[in-house]
Structure 1
Amino acid sequence: MTFQSLRSITEYNVSTFRRHYVSEIAGSLGDLGTFLPIALALAANGTVSLASTLIFSGLFNILTGLFFGIPLPVQPMKAIAAVAIARSFSPGSIAAAGIFVAGVLLIGSITGLLQWFTRVIPIPVVKGIQVGAGLSLVMAACTTLHDLGWIHPSWADNRLWAIGVFVALLLTHSTPKRLPYALVVFIIGLVLAIIRSALTSNLPSFSIWNPHIVVPIGHEWSRGAIDAGLGQLPLTTLNSVVAVVHLAADLLPSVPTPSVTAIGFSVSVMNLIGVWFGAMPVCHGSGGLAAQYRFGARSGASVVFLGACKLILGLVFGESLVDLLHRFPKALLAVMVIAAGLELVRVGESLNTSAARDLGRQVEDESGERVHLTEEERGKRWMVMMVTVGLLVGFKNDAVGFVAGMLCHWAYGLPGLVERVKSRSEGRVRLP
């Protein structure tokens, strides 16, 4: 990155924050519905340090905002987190998983494999991964809401709160000027959490961060890399690198889009540093980007603000925040996740329009007119996307959805390939 481009990004961040600081602050909170539950679950198990997670994720928020100039999220590696929670991983095992994924991505970034991988993936498959990720977020949030009662588990966290917040979300679409929905909901949730903590005398206290080093030993390396790291690789590559680059181009066309290599390198560096101090393995994700965009973030200033808040909280309060954050209403977080998921699902509508990156670059035919898709071609592209979505959601696995979508894409292209091979063969036969 040149000094000139860095200066241009800084000017964009500053000017955007000055003009729309409320929207930028509100948008920065959009991804908390994913970040908080996973970070708290891992911290409660003693698998990660909440203080280190807040400090390093905050630091990386600041750096990504400054270098990329877009509201790029720093969110948990979900596959690793799921395995770590289910199997009660030790700090060393989850650190090994993060280091393994970071190492593979670093090799892919340096060698150019990530760039090649992105070029060969058809846009319908990429859109399918994005839509599938959005639907997965909605389904996960609905599961959380289903577990709530009408007045339970608390007067401050139940289905009545969820319905009220969801209705408010719908009303924000009809207002002439979008309200800072995420900011208002977060403040309400924080007030409720403080009241609940005060009633049990468990308010946070000053607890200066005391860093400690986590070094995986013996079987922790194999357990982390094989049991959790391997499952995370396709998710990180497809959703946190490839899909996030395409989504950034779709949502923020006026801002320079980070390269796949830069995003892959960023994910690698974050985990090659943070996990040694007990921080949660993190990545960038299309769901988090969609969430922050949905609630108003348009520049890197939003995540710089969020990162500064995380950094201060981690340094000053540290582990004492666990109880307070556990009392943040799940109903409010779930609705925020639903909003983020629906924003990500919406990108699928541009599949067969000029907004799709491959169609936007279509060449003109011999008459000088732009080539348009036939109804059959539109149907095939739609089917490839929906096969990717269906298998991804059905199996809850990005890799399965990706493979299914690629197979569908290749199946549609097979007749044309056969015709080309046949034409070449006939041409060789006619040669004297």
Structure 2
Amino acid sequence: MGTLLPLMIALTMTGSISLSSTLIFSGLWNVLTGVMFGIPLPVQPMKAIAAVAIARGFSKAEMASAGLFVAGFVLVASWVGAIKWFTKVIPIPVVKGIQIGAGMSLVLSAGGSLQGLHWTSPKEDNLLWTISVFLFLLATTLPYRRLARIPTALILFVIGIVLSVVVSGRGRLPHLSRWRPFILLPSPAAFRTGALEAGVGQIPLTTLNSIIAVSQLSYDLLPNVEAPTTTALGLSVAGMNLVGCWFGAMPVCHGSGGLAAQYRFGARSGASIIILGLFKLVVGLVWGDSLVGVLSRFPKSVLGIMVIAAGLELAKVGESLNTGARDLYLQGEEDDEGESSTAGKRPRQVSDEERMQRWTVMMMTVGGLLAFRNDAVGFVAGMLCHCVYRFPVWWREVRDDERGIWSWRRVSRRSGERRWLLGRS
């Protein structure tokens, strides 16, 4: 809920998604996910796409195009078994750079929306509310278990809804509304914008965080339950978006962070996800788009801080780049599906030179993304930086493989004579 609510509200206010379609389809996917996989596997927004859409004000067609592009890629990669290969090709610093860039895009977008607020007016949306919400979020991050269990996002959502109802008055209150589905047919220009500016940057996040990491984490957290394979997760992500995006629903995926949060608060099966899905379905079918009037009056002071918190949570993944990233763990024994677990292993030590190179690649990705407000530019910039650093190593490996390594080596004969010969090892 901490990720879903702020992004769903912000995307609704920018006109990038259909609220009723998002609630209905994401609720349906919640129920099917809980039944099929039997683990607390969340259905959450594609954060990189959401960040770009909020910052750029994507239309529904551009938003749907980004989701369909990622879904099509994941479907083909899962069908031919190329998910693991693709994940190995994309370096972790580039992936983390895209995550940080997406998080910072959310922070910048939310910060811009807060600049026009005044200290005391209007009473329901001002800087005093902003500071109060910030202090409340700050208090729940303190290292106390009881405070950490407070449903912060849900409480702030209720407060924001109450304030928006007060502002809206009776004329814009939610009412019974029948869902009126529609089909989106993106134009070539809309598809190009959505795919290149948002979809490209989402692909490495989806393959790594929504498929590979989820499969490994479910094996680590729930060893007594059959872990979903990468192929099954890939087909699940592709299927959800190849159906829902045509109706204006928000692009969604699974996520290792959501799975870890569900497990932390006690979920051990798909029941929690099914309950959440049923709640979404009821709200979407009963009230649907009538909620848009209230959400359009949602206080910027509350929403802005919620979006900033979501952005910082996404950007926080960069902290483990040189200490606990998955590519720093030694390769473990693989199971029948070719997956390996990092449970019980320690990451290898990183030299100062490698540490600086990894950090530079990550920040080059962040810089390209933020400077041009385009995930594809950040992705290409990070990959080029990575290739520049790796080229001498690759060239040395190719040269040694073709010619062998010429060196003087010491040999002995039976007679005891010792000679030095020049040869390849």
TM range (shorter): 0.7 to 0.9
Aligned equivalents of 2:274, 2:106: Cα separation in 1: 25
Q: Which moved more, 1:420-429 or 1:293-302?
A: 293-302
Q: 5 Å matches for 1:235-254?
A: 235-245=201-211, 248=214, 254=221
Aligned equivalents of 2:119, 2:257: Cα separation in 1: 32
Asked if the contact 2:77/2:83 (under 8 Å) is kept, the reply is yes
Return the letter of the residue paired with 2:114. Answer: L
Q: Percent identity?
A: 42
1:165 aligns with one of 123, 133, 153: 133
Tell me what 2:83 maps to.
114
1:338 aligns with one of 289, 308, 317: 308
Asked if the contact 2:40/2:272 (under 8 Å) is kept, the reply is no
In the TM superposition, residue 100 of structure 1 has moved relative to its aligned partner by 5.1
Return the letter of the residue paired with 1:78. Answer: A
TM-align CA RMSD: 3.7
Aligned equivalents of 1:125, 1:84: Cα separation in 2: 22
The question of 1:70 aligning with 2:47 is answered no
The question of 1:348 aligning with 2:318 is answered yes
Alpha-carbon spacing, 1:100–1:174, altered in 2? closer, same or farther (3 Å): closer
In the TM superposition, residue 166 of structure 1 has moved relative to its aligned partner by 0.4
In the TM superposition, residue 34 of structure 1 has moved relative to its aligned partner by 0.8
The question of 1:181 aligning with 2:152 is answered yes
SS at the partner of 1:415?
A: helix
Tell me what 1:396 maps to.
373
Alpha-carbon spacing, 1:38–1:289, altered in 2? closer, same or farther (3 Å): farther
Q: 5 Å matches for 1:206-245?
A: 206-209=176-179, 211-214=180-183, 216=185, 220-245=186-211
Q: 5 Å matches for 1:1-20?
A: none
Alpha-carbon spacing, 1:335–1:289, altered in 2? closer, same or farther (3 Å): farther
Tell me what 1:315 maps to.
285
Aligned equivalents of 2:64, 2:350: Cα separation in 1: 48
In the TM superposition, residue 190 of structure 1 has moved relative to its aligned partner by 1.8
Alpha-carbon spacing, 1:424–1:52, altered in 2? closer, same or farther (3 Å): closer
Return the letter of the residue paired with 1:196. Answer: V
Alpha-carbon spacing, 1:377–1:49, altered in 2? closer, same or farther (3 Å): closer
Tell me what 2:418 maps to.
none
Q: How many residues align?
A: 383
SS at the partner of 1:42?
A: coil
In the TM superposition, residue 182 of structure 1 has moved relative to its aligned partner by 1.8
Alpha-carbon spacing, 1:254–1:157, altered in 2? closer, same or farther (3 Å): same
Alpha-carbon spacing, 1:427–1:264, altered in 2? closer, same or farther (3 Å): closer
Aligned equivalents of 1:110, 1:377: Cα separation in 2: 35
The question of 1:132 aligning with 2:101 is answered yes
1:209-238 CA-to-partner distances (Å, cap 9, x unmatched) read 3x445263xxx5434433434434313312
Asked if the contact 2:137/2:152 (under 8 Å) is kept, the reply is yes
The question of 1:203 aligning with 2:182 is answered no
Q: What TM-score results when the alignment is normalised by the length of structure 2?
A: 0.76
Tell me what 2:11 maps to.
38
Aligned equivalents of 1:78, 1:205: Cα separation in 2: 28
1:408 aligns with one of 385, 395, 412: 385
Alpha-carbon spacing, 1:190–1:380, altered in 2? closer, same or farther (3 Å): same
Return the letter of the residue paired with 2:221. Answer: S
1:192 aligns with one of 155, 163, 178: 163
Aligned equivalents of 1:398, 1:255: Cα separation in 2: 34
Q: What TM-score results when the alignment is normalised by the length of structure 1?
A: 0.75
Asked if the contact 1:34/1:75 (under 8 Å) is kept, the reply is no
